[in-house]
């Protein structure tokens, strides 16, 4: 069944099976997201794509569109909640942007700019997970991980290698490498894998290419993520 719903007051058509996020995006409306990727099924962990439908906050990446529903996305209430979610992600990791190779090309950072996050506000966790630099071509900084599982999904479903996994529970949850030793060097991972380039933040970094783009020429320097994300398939 296809139909039309209202997205921030604008009519948006949808096909059967489309989620709110997919239909809104197809109609040219940007919805903030981190763990969602057009090439993969919805994940629902980052919650940045929340919208308000019939008084309830729902994840637009997972919620099927229904005829006649009224969706609020770009409102002070929803953006405030998104900003709080970003603040939580920032304090849970070590997001020292001034020394991060991903700065300027990072979706987490660009979204925080988009939502005008001026401070992470909460007390910092300062996690201490050792860097894995064992692989000849790729470096892993686990302290920047936002648990979107895009690398897990890309490695398992696209590369057919199943290199990554999330392990443990609660705040102890972290990204792990599926090797007896836990080291990336002891897997068949390669820098050409889909999983090597899909990380939205600065966890999976190709060695010897950092800081190559001049400031001003990076992905989100000239245009905000709401513009960049609609021009490409990330």
Partner 1 sequence: MDTAASEVSRPKLRVATTSLAGCFGCHMSLLDIDEHLFELAQLVDFDRSPITDIKHCGPCDVGLIEGGVCNAENVHVLREFRRNCKILVAVGACAVNGGLPAQRNHLDLGACLQQVYQFRDGVAQPQIPNDPELPLLLDKVHPIHEVVRIDYFVPGCPPSGEALWKFLTDLIAGRTPRLSHPLLHYD
Instruction: List interacting residues with partner 1 (CB under 8 A).
Output: 90-91, 94-100, 103-104, 109, 112-114, 116, 118-121, 123-124, 126, 128, 215, 221-222, 224
Q: CB of 10 within 8 A of CB of 29?
A: yes
Give the residue among 114, 23, 115 at the shortest CA–CA distance from 71. 23
We find the least distance from the C-beta atom of residue 222 to partner 1, in angstroms, to be 8
Closest CB to partner 1 among residues 13, 224:
224
We find the least distance from the C-beta atom of residue 92 to partner 1, in angstroms, to be 12
Pairing type for strands 204-206 and 138-140 reads antiparallel
CA quadruple 224, 229, 231, 232: dihedral sign: positive
Closest CB to partner 1 among residues 141, 149:
141
We find the least distance from the C-beta atom of residue 52 to partner 1, in angstroms, to be 23
Give the up-direction half-sphere exposure of residue 184: CA atoms within 13 A in the CB hemisphere: 26
Closest CB to partner 1 among residues 112, 175:
112
User: CA–CA separation, 207 vs 215, rounded Å?
Assistant: 19
We find the least distance from the C-beta atom of residue 127 to partner 1, in angstroms, to be 8
Closest CB to partner 1 among residues 186, 221:
221
């Amino acid at each position: 069944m296809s139909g039309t719903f209202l997205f921030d007051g604008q009519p948006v058509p949808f096909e059967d099976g489309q989620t709110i996020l997919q239909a809104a995006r197809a109609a040219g409306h940007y919805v903030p997201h981190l763990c969602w990727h057009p090439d993969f099924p919805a994940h629902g962990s980052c919650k940045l794509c929340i919208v308000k439908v019939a008084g309830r906050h729902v994840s637009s990446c997972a919620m099927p569109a229904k005829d006649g529903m009224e969706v609020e996305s770009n409102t002070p209430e929803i953006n405030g909640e998104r900003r709080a979610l970003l603040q939580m992600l920032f304090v849970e990791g070590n997001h020292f942007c001034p020394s991060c190779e991903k700065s300027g090309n990072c979706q987490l950072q660009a979204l925080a700019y988009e939502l005008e996050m001026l401070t992470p506000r909460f007390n910092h966790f300062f996690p201490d997970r050792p860097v894995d630099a064992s692989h000849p071509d790729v470096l892993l900084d686990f302290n920047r991980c936002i648990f979107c599982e895009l690398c897990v999904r890309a490695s398992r479903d696209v590369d057919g290698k199943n290199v990554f996994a999330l392990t443990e529970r609660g705040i102890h949850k972290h990204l792990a490498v599926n090797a007896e030793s836990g080291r990336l060097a002891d897997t068949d991972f390669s820098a050409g894998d889909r999983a090597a380039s899909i990380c939205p933040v600065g966890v999976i970094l190709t060695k010897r290419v950092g800081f190559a783009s001049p400031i001003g020429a990076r992905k989100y320097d000239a245009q905000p993520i709401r513009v960049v994300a609609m021009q490409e398939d990330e």
